[in-house]
Amino acid sequence: MINEVNIKKIILHILDPSVGMPVLSEEEHPHDEEINEFIKTHIENVFKDINIKKAFFRNEENRVKNLCMDISKDDNKFVEKTKEFSQIFYDFMVSNISIPPCDLICSLFNGDGREYLGFFILNYKTSYIHYVEELEDTRVNTVVKQSTALPSESQKIDEFIIVDLEDYSMLLKEKKYEIDGQKEYYISRYLLRSEDSLSDKEKIDIVNKVSKKLVEKYYEGDVTKLAEIKSAMLESVEETDAINVEHIKTKVFNNNLEIQNVYEEEIEKRGLTERTIEVNENLSKKISKTQKLVTDDGIELKIPISYLTSNDKVEFLNNPDGTISVLLKNIRDIQGK
């Protein structure tokens, strides 16, 4: 996350295979305060994106890294080198038709004292505008579908690459598209030829999925045990602004070393090697503080996690016939919503 962004250069290239060729700008984007503010807002937002992940160029000859280094050494090469990257990108798009057309905004900017080169892939959105047609003796106002609209300031950018021009590490967000019959991340694998790590959101998803899998396997899907896991996650975030895997493992499975070892093996198998997952403000909002319960006949209950880990508010009763009753306690008022 960065606090201050200063934009030095912007250029826009149009990458739409249906046109038959990339439409590459020969000059930087003219200075415009509103457009600068538009780009600046998007840059600030992408640093907060919960799907962002770190990436690194492999230790081999790399065209994209080389052009980034050229811009870093001489920013007068900004236009030439962004055109070079755009051509690489466009050639790959032509060979893989599942990748959607886009406008590519390239920006050289300073963020909190570090210099970055950003490639922002603005996939087209559909919007509708009015169109006024003047005929000989009348005027007709109509609604027209516009299929090449760009994301507004409030919308997220689907994919982007941000290169730190000091150490050439990257921040990356990408989507999977079909390449040679198989869906995969094409930006890191084919365009950047980079190694990347899991995003913080992906790490938390792994913790959730593994936890749920083990509860279903070893505790027959016990709702209280699931709540204990979520409670341990919330507790860890509140205390340290991070999810501590060790804390969750020992608190929830403290009496069973076998399950603790299986837990370790499962999360490592899915690519999570860190034991601490940093949680920023945006990611913290995504960590559920409630548990949704759905009965076999369609009744839904949404209960705060803290209520499920004690019997003060909610109690689950096992009936002789094998059914379960849910007892809600100490309720002063009930409202329909």
User: What percentage of the chain reaches a pLDDT higher than 70?
Assistant: 99
Claim to verify: residue 101 and residue 210 sit in the same structural domain: no
Query: What's the pLDDT score for residue 90?
Result: 97
Claim to verify: residue 67 and residue 206 sit in the same structural domain: no
Query: What's the pLDDT score for residue 111?
Result: 92
Confidence band (pLDDT; 50, 70, 90) for 289? Answer: confident
Q: What does residue 275 show for φ and ψ, rounded to 5 degrees?
A: -105, -5
Q: What does residue 164 show for φ and ψ, rounded to 5 degrees?
A: -80, 115
Claim to verify: residue 42 and residue 61 sit in the same structural domain: yes
Compare 228 and 213 and report the one with higher pLDDT.
213
* Domain-terminating residue out of 169, 197, 225: 197
Nearest alpha-carbon partner for 156 in 262, 317, 247, 47 = 47
CB 307 within 8 A of CB 324: no
Query: What's the pLDDT score for residue 129?
Result: 83
Q: CA-CA distance, 51 to 326, in Å (whole number)?
A: 37
In a domain, 30, yes or no: yes
Query: What's the pLDDT score for residue 69?
Result: 97
Total domain count for the chain?
Answer: 2
Claim to verify: residue 73 and residue 189 sit in the same structural domain: yes
In a domain, 254, yes or no: yes
CB count, 10 Å around CB of 314? 21
CB count, 10 Å around CB of 16? 17
Helices and strands, counts by H and E, the chain? 10, 17
Is pLDDT above 80 for 288? no
What is the per-residue pLDDT across 126-148, written as a single tens digit (0 to 9) for each? Answer: 888 888 888 888 988 888 887 77
Claim to verify: residue 12 and residue 101 sit in the same structural domain: yes
* Domain-terminating residue out of 144, 177, 197: 197
Query: What's the pLDDT score for residue 323?
Result: 85
In a domain, 142, yes or no: no
Claim to verify: residue 81 and residue 208 sit in the same structural domain: no
Claim to verify: residue 91 and residue 233 sit in the same structural domain: no
Angle at alpha carbon of residue 104, lines to 191 and 177, rounded to 5° = 50
Could you list the residue range(s) of the whole structural domain that residue 224 is in? 201-328
Confidence band (pLDDT; 50, 70, 90) for 152? Answer: confident
* Domain-terminating residue out of 197, 221, 256: 197
In a domain, 158, yes or no: yes
In a domain, 316, yes or no: yes
Cβ contacts of residue 163 below 8 Å, gap of 6+? 68, 116, 117, 118, 119, 169, 170
Query: What's the pLDDT score for residue 190?
Result: 93
What is the per-residue pLDDT across 75-132, written as a single tens digit (0 to 9) for each? Answer: 999 999 999 999 999 999 999 999 999 999 999 999 988 999 999 999 888 888 888 8
In a domain, 133, yes or no: no
What would the mean pLDDT of 16-26 be, rounded to a whole number?
93
In a domain, 129, yes or no: no
Query: What's the pLDDT score for residue 326?
Result: 85
Claim to verify: residue 162 and residue 29 sit in the same structural domain: yes
In a domain, 135, yes or no: no
Mean pLDDT (the chain, rounded)? 88
Query: What's the pLDDT score for residue 63?
Result: 95
Compare 281 and 260 and report the one with higher pLDDT.
260
What would the mean pLDDT of 287-304 be, rounded to a whole number?
82
Confidence band (pLDDT; 50, 70, 90) for 184? Answer: very high
Query: What's the pLDDT score for residue 79?
Result: 97
Claim to verify: residue 264 and residue 211 sit in the same structural domain: yes
Claim to verify: residue 69 and residue 160 sit in the same structural domain: yes
Q: What is the pTM of this model?
A: 0.77
What is the per-residue pLDDT across 22-80, written as a single tens digit (0 to 9) for each? Answer: 999 999 999 889 999 999 999 999 998 888 999 999 888 899 999 999 999 999 999 99
Claim to verify: residue 55 and residue 179 sit in the same structural domain: yes
Nearest alpha-carbon partner for 187 in 158, 150, 153, 151 = 158
Claim to verify: residue 164 and residue 233 sit in the same structural domain: no
